[in-house]
Homo-oligomer: A and B are copies of this chain.
Amino acid sequence: MQEKGILIVISGFSGAGKGTLVKKLLETYDKYALSISMTTRQPRAGEKDGIHYFFTSREKFEEEIAKNGLIEYAQYCGNYYGTPRAYVEEQLSRGQNVILEIEIQGALKIKKLFPESLLLFVTPPTAAELERRLKGRGTETEEVIAKRLARASEESEGIEAYDYIVVNDDLETCVEELHHIVEAAGRAPIRRQAFIKEIREELKGFVKGGQN
């Protein structure tokens, strides 16, 4: 029997290295697929349709909402963002673990809808390291960095909602650890319901058989 894949939500501080981590995970193991969000906002320079986002119109997006074509969606700054359902469900049923990179509000929505989903929070080993990485990019103003740190401080209040904390210190180690966390999570009873049901029924059969 093909085991279903795990729906994995990855959140984390801006500057924690989520993007690099996910990219490396997809390159290293073949059991993962990345969900691509749909959005009504305009593509930024370098963003490609079907790679960074599925870009679409408000009309089409609202059609998707109406026909339950999105797992979750939200509006930010007047634009819609959502997770197309078809791709996620197809991959999961094929046994692929599907990754959604979303922030905490979306993560909590997903957990409510899919209790067997896996919520991972990516963080650097220390806040000082987070600041160092944000500054190291050299592309952001002091003000933007201060805002990101303030946001990180807020986000840190929500960590307990996540199933695991993934500390991104060394990339290679972190990717391996992330994979082991996903494998372990696949052994939690909530993700082994079919197995539990089967062994229970089988055991009951033995007991009945023995009584006859």
Contacts and interface: CB of A to CB of B under 8 A. Distances in A.
Interface of A: 123, 126-128, 130-131, 146, 149-150, 152-153, 156-157, 159-160, 162-167, 177, 180-181, 183-185, 187-189, 192, 195-196, 198-200, 202-207, 210
Nearest to A192: B165
Q: What 8 A-B pairs have minimum CB-CB distances, sorted nearest first?
A: A127-B202, A184-B184, A153-B203, A146-B210, A181-B184, A164-B187, A180-B180, A149-B206
A126 to B, nearest CB: 6
Q: Give the oligomeric copy count.
A: 2
A192 B189 CA distance: 22
Contact of A149 (B184, B187, B207): B207
Contact of A204 (B126, B153, B188, B207): B153
9 contacts: A126-B199, A126-B202, A131-B206, A146-B207, A153-B200, A153-B203, A156-B196, A165-B192, A180-B180
Given A128-B202, A184-B184, A165 B189 contact: yes
A70 to B, nearest CB: 29
